[in-house]
Structures are given as C-alpha cells and as structure tokens.
Amino acid sequence: MRESVPRNPAPTVDVIIELAGGIVLVRRKNPPPGWALPGGFVDYGEPLWAAARREAKEETGLDVELTALLHVYSRPDRDPRLHTVSTVYVGRASGIPVGADDAAEARVFPLDALPAPLAFDHAEIIADYVRFRRDGTRPPPGS
C-alpha cells in the first residue's frame, strides 16, 4: 500500500512597497504575464517576514522596511499555476527599483495610473491597500 502524499497550498508572500510617487510593481518574466507586486515563494525554514524582504530585494534591488501586515489571500484560484496562500505586507523603501531575478522590470506607479494587466489577484490586493491607507481598515477574515 502506497502512502498518500499530502497536497497543500504553497506559501507565498507579496509586498506593497511604498516609494515617493506610488508603489513598486514588477513586470513578470515568466507566465503568467503582467505586472505584479514583488513577491514569491517562501523557502523551507524561512519566516514569512524574511521571505518578503528577500523577495522584494531579489526582484527590485530595494531594501524594504516592513511596516504592516495587510491580509492573507488564499482563494484557490488566485494563481493559475497552483493553489497558493499569500501573506501580503506593506513596506517602505528608498532608492530606484531595478528589475532582477524573475522580474523583467521594476517601476514606481501612482495609484491612479496602474499598468495593465495586473497578474494574479493583485488588483484586489491593491484595492484593499488603498482602503487600508484611506481609513485603516483591512479586509475581514473570509474575504
């Protein structure tokens, strides 16, 4: 009898990096295409906050100070590749973002002039961030 291997969602992190003039988005090198928040998969043995800072640095070249935990997004269809659970942080940095690793490009965008298309569920995440910045509310559990 063969033991069954558990199928679990993959933990990921995303970071909304605040810079003068807007937030940092990266243009993805790999499918799915589009612009995205800097982020990626958490390594085994790595704390979520450390993964967020590492991914931000790898994809933008920026050292990010994490300032808030926005929300956890876990809808099974949020990533077309596989079921992921993303812990999304807000952070701030200074400097000029430069696309690296699996980011073809990194740029600062004003919140009223975001590029299209946005990958994954990042339009929803950014809308939640805008509400958070406006009135301090975060999405409720189960959203």
Residue spans per domain, the chain? 10-135
Maximum mean pLDDT: which of 5-9, 87-91, 138-142: 87-91
pLDDT at position 4: 75
Cα→Cα distances 1→6, 8, 71, 100, Å: 16, 22, 41, 46
pLDDT at position 55: 98
**1 pLDDT more than 80:** no
Q: What is the mean pLDDT of the chain?
A: 95
**84 pLDDT more than 60:** yes
Cα→Cα distances 8→23, 37, 46, 82, Å: 31, 23, 17, 10
**105 pLDDT more than 80:** yes
From the candidates 3, 46, 55, 105, give the one annotated as an active-site residue: 105
Could you tell me which CATH class the domain 10-135 is placed in? Answer: alpha beta
Active site residue 105: yes
